[in-house]
Amino acid sequence: TTQPPLTPAELRARGRTEILQREARERQLESVRQRELAKLKPAEQELQRVEKEIVRVEQAVKEQVRQRAAFNKALDVFFLKDLSNIFLK
């Protein structure tokens, strides 16, 4: 029912076997990890493309707001009766 104690040679062999098994598991997990990361690559690239597009659109909107403000100011000046107020706005 109880097993005899292992000899030093058996302990070393068991230790080497466990190390080899652990290294094999680590390689397998790294392989799976790399495969899964590769699957995410297209989504990551699409996300980066969309983020760049968002920045571009935000800049375009900001420029439109700036142009609209300049236009409104010019329109206000155009309709001013008293041109001395031009520099007060």
Match 């968002």 to its residue by tokens: 54
Contact 14, 6 (CB under 8 A): yes
In the predicted model, residues of the chain with pLDDT beneath 70 are 1, 80-89
Q: What is the pLDDT of residue 78?
A: 76
Give the pTM.
0.54
Q: What is the rounded distance in angstroms from the CA atom of residue 67 to the CA atom of residue 80? A: 20
Q: C-alpha angle 28/29/35, rounded to 5°?
A: 90
Q: What is the pLDDT of residue 6?
A: 86
Q: What is the pLDDT of residue 86?
A: 58
Q: What is the pLDDT of residue 84?
A: 62
